[in-house]
Chain A
Amino acid sequence: MTVLRLNNLSFGYNPRQLIFEDISFAVHPGEVFCIIGPNGCGKTTLIDSILGINQPQQGTIEVGGTDLAQLKPREFAQQIAYVPQSHTKTFPYTVLDIVVMGRTTATRGFGSPDASQRQRARESLEQVGLQGFEERLYTELSGGELQLVLIARALTQDAHIMVLDEPTAHLDFRHELMVMEIITWLVKEKELTIVMATHFLNQAFYLENAAVPTRVALMDQGKIAAIGTPSEVITKSNLKDVFKISSTTGTTDEEGIQRKFIVPLKNIR
């Protein structure tokens, strides 16, 4: 069973200069699929392809067995919800206005969301821990709160796959943990499938430590260098090859729970 499958996918803004090449993987239902790799390795571009924003030069993407290119935006949004890496705030909508946009596909015709859809948005806000934020202006939120609002919006979409592009890029430790706890909850309780790009390798271990089915694809220069469980992929030798760093892994049993982690040590010249 797969919910999302990439078959020999290649893409470049300039066809003679591919950003990634011949990428194939399958995402299984109910797992977190992490895409990691150095800056500029093609993570965000790959995510854009999965979102249907750029058309691959070669290869196909299947969502639930259907070719992505055949899906209308509405059908796409019913299956895949997206949390952007950064969001440009333009107009000071209320938090509820933002979250309820997740119901766009559920509104009939060209109408606006009704009371039940606003209620659904309120529930999402509560689920990410932002009850009472409904009427706040979203332009006045902190970066961490905004990220939670965007996750709530994606959650409101009721899609079974959620794609997150570096969801903790600008967040403090506390908000990073909040996002990871929500992702754990999404997979364990809501039975969602998550695809996320991240720079924080310990997040993959966090999920593994929390017994969340997790796999990692390590990208390097537009290709997949390794794919497997966090412990299989995030290794000293892989990080040495791809990131050109030395590192060490360790475990702690603080609070009686075994937790694995990785610490970067030094640049290798």
Chain B
Amino acid sequence: MSPSKKTIVTLILIALPILFFFGTICIGRYYVSLTDIFLTLWQGLTGNNSGVSAETTTVILQIRLPRAFQGAMVGAALGASGAAFQSLFRNPLVSSGILGVSAGAGFGAALAIVLFNTVFLTPLFAFGFGILAVILSYFAGKIDNTSTTITLVLGGTIIQSIFSALISLLKYLADTATQLPVITFWLMGSLASTKTADVYLALIPMALGMSGMLILRYRLNVLSMGDREARTLGINVIANKAAVIAFATLATAGAVCVSGIVGWIGLIIPHVGRMLVGNDNKWLVPASMSLGACFVIFCDTLCRSLTGGEIPLGIVTALIGGPFFIYLLKKTKGRSW
């Protein structure tokens, strides 16, 4: 990329999520203007009454702002870990769920719903089992103290199918009137159940994971050369791989535990990023974060405003993401691969 193009793309990638963030707060059945948002934020900061109605303040601060923020974080986390995993596994078809984090989280959530009959512990269980699934995959794929890309992917695939089977088992055992719908909806993914406390708790692993991936992002280039070359280029392959897996898992588990399983982002967003900034992870990881945030905010806005009810987020990301991806593929003639 030429320096001027780089500057333009960087500016767009910074401006776009901000635009989407404030845009989604305006959109909905209860109309909020941009002025309302800024006045409310100003009021929150200074304590001076700015003359915005109490309902508007509630809609902004209690409902839309946390939801927009959560959407942005979930999208950024899934986009970044998708990019990280694609480089790590040297495979453009890999997504953030490759090591079983989504399946594990799904099982954790279903287990919490069946055991406690409440959604209160769901995020915690989802997070815990998401992490557990990745640890199991890592050790399943570890042979003689090293883990090659192939055995790691195999380990992930095996653990994924085990947890998928366990999810089916829980669905089968669940009370069909009360628990089964909750499990099913959770698995479709949604930002509808945003509570402010969730946002802040899930923020910690997501922020940690994303910071880690940002710090390690150049190493992803080197790791994508394969174990042998990465080693001779001077990096500790085992330690760097483990660190990337740990950070990507933290981010994904943090995202999945509040949003449920939202497919597509970890697969498609890095490819959109590649078309914009190329393959150098120095640019690709932050670009995937920005684009992921925009994509989730956009899809979630459709989820809550297209119909009277809420459409699950996972459905919309796939329905929008699929055709959009085909469009991009045709437009760039697949040159990014």
Q: A101-B222, A104-B222, A110-B215 are in contact. Are A93 and B280 (CB under 8 A)?
A: yes
Whether B236 pairs with A73 at a CB distance below 8 angstroms is: yes
Inter-chain contact count A-B, CB under 8 Å?
Answer: 85
Interface flags, B265-308, vs A, CB<8A=1, else 0: 00000000010001110100000000000000000000000000
Q: Which of B86, B233, B279 contacts A104 (CB 8 A)?
A: B233
Q: Which of B217, B221, B222, B336 contacts A92 (CB 8 A)?
A: B336
The residues of A that contact B217 with a CB separation of less than 8 Å are 112
Whether B233 pairs with A102 at a CB distance below 8 angstroms is: yes
The residues of A that contact B241 with a CB separation of less than 8 Å are none
- Number of chain A residues whose Cβ lies closer than 8 Å to a Cβ of chain B: 33
A123 interface contact, C-beta 8 A: no
Interface residues of B in 200-241 (CB under 8 A from A): 215-219, 221-222, 224-226, 228-229, 231-237
B142 interface contact, C-beta 8 A: no
Q: A93-B280, A104-B222 are in contact. Are A52 and B231 (CB under 8 A)?
A: yes
Interface flags, B73-96, vs A, CB<8A=1, else 0: 000000000000011001110000
> In the bound complex, how far is the Cα of B213 from the Cα of A110, in angstroms?
11
The residues of A that contact B278 with a CB separation of less than 8 Å are 93-94, 97
Whether A88 pairs with B226 at a CB distance below 8 angstroms is: yes
Considering the complex, give the chain B residue whose CB is closest to the CB of A111: B218
B335 interface contact, C-beta 8 A: yes
Which segment, of A30-38, A76-84, A218-226, A246-254, faces chain B? A76-84
Q: Which of B91, B222, B228, B336 contacts A90 (CB 8 A)?
A: B91
Q: A91-B87, A101-B221, A112-B282 are in contact. Are A53 and B231 (CB under 8 A)?
A: yes
B116 interface contact, C-beta 8 A: no
Whether A51 pairs with B221 at a CB distance below 8 angstroms is: no
Considering the complex, give the chain A residue whose CB is closest to the CB of B229: A84
Whether A87 pairs with B233 at a CB distance below 8 angstroms is: no
Interface flags, A196-238, vs B, CB<8A=1, else 0: 0000000000000000000000000000000000000000000
B172 interface contact, C-beta 8 A: no
Interface flags, B81-119, vs A, CB<8A=1, else 0: 000001100111000000000000000000000000000
Whether A51 pairs with B234 at a CB distance below 8 angstroms is: no
> In the bound complex, how far is the Cα of B234 from the Cα of A77, in angstroms?
5
Whether A51 pairs with B87 at a CB distance below 8 angstroms is: no
Q: A92-B336, A93-B280 are in contact. Are A81 and B232 (CB under 8 A)?
A: yes
B30 interface contact, C-beta 8 A: no
Whether B232 pairs with A51 at a CB distance below 8 angstroms is: yes
B337 interface contact, C-beta 8 A: yes
The residues of A that contact B235 with a CB separation of less than 8 Å are 73-74, 104
Q: A90-B90, A92-B279 are in contact. Are A101 and B233 (CB under 8 A)?
A: yes
> In the bound complex, how far is the Cα of B87 from the Cα of A149, in angstroms?
20
> In the bound complex, how far is the Cα of B148 from the Cα of A88, in angstroms?
15
Whether B234 pairs with A105 at a CB distance below 8 angstroms is: yes
The residues of B that contact A88 with a CB separation of less than 8 Å are 90, 226
Q: A79 to chain B: closest CB distance in Å?
A: 10
List 7 A-B pairs, minimum CB-CB distance, nearest first: A77-B234, A105-B234, A112-B218, A82-B232, A91-B279, A90-B90, A112-B282
Additional A-B contacts beyond A101-B222, A110-B218 (10; CB < 8 A)? A48-B228, A51-B228, A53-B228, A72-B236, A76-B232, A84-B229, A91-B279, A101-B233, A104-B222, A157-B233
